[in-house]
Amino acid sequence: MKNAEFQFDSFLITKSLFEINNHFESLDLIINFKPSGKLDKKNSLFNLILGIVISDKANSIKIEIEVVGYFKYSNIEEKKLNDFLYQNAPAILFPYIRAYISALTTLSGINPIVLPTLNLVSLKDDLSGNIEEIDLS
């Protein structure tokens, strides 16, 4: 069996902040993303750093999560690699963030926050402008 050209290796939650006001009732959530990455072309490695901030209009809840997804790739032409880095990597990592937030809020005693499935293609421009090429080995 042939290995995939672009592989998700693992992830690590590097930041988790959860603040809640006793009167949290709102489900009108505001979700903002902070994508960035570190690319090691020499060793074919990519670290996607995906930050997410969730709040509501009443400021009764604030959740800040930062997750690093570790990816590796091989034998990919530049355009195809860019598609993987800027579109596929966030889509692969986001379900882990969704699950973490659901578990975190469920265990906190409030109604669980279940984020919708989101199309993260809109992060492409922000992410492509926040990629640092370094040696990750």
pLDDT, one tens digit for every residue, the chain (137 residues): 566 688 999 999 999 999 988 676 666 889 999 999 999 999 999 999 999 999 988 888 899 999 999 999 998 888 888 889 999 999 999 999 999 999 998 898 888 888 888 888 888 888 989 999 888 77
14-28 core/surface letters (b: 16 or more CB in 10 A; e: else):
eeeeeeeeeebeeee
In whole angstroms, give the CA distance from residue 63 to residue 17.
Answer: 6
pLDDT at 4: 64
Cβ(70)–Cβ(9) under 8 Å?
Answer: yes
In whole angstroms, give the CA distance from residue 34 to residue 24.
Answer: 24
pTM comes to 0.88
CATH of the domain spanning 6-132: 3.10.420.10
Structure tokens at 48: 């996607």
Identify any residues that bridge with 19 across adjacent strands, giving them in sequence order: 62
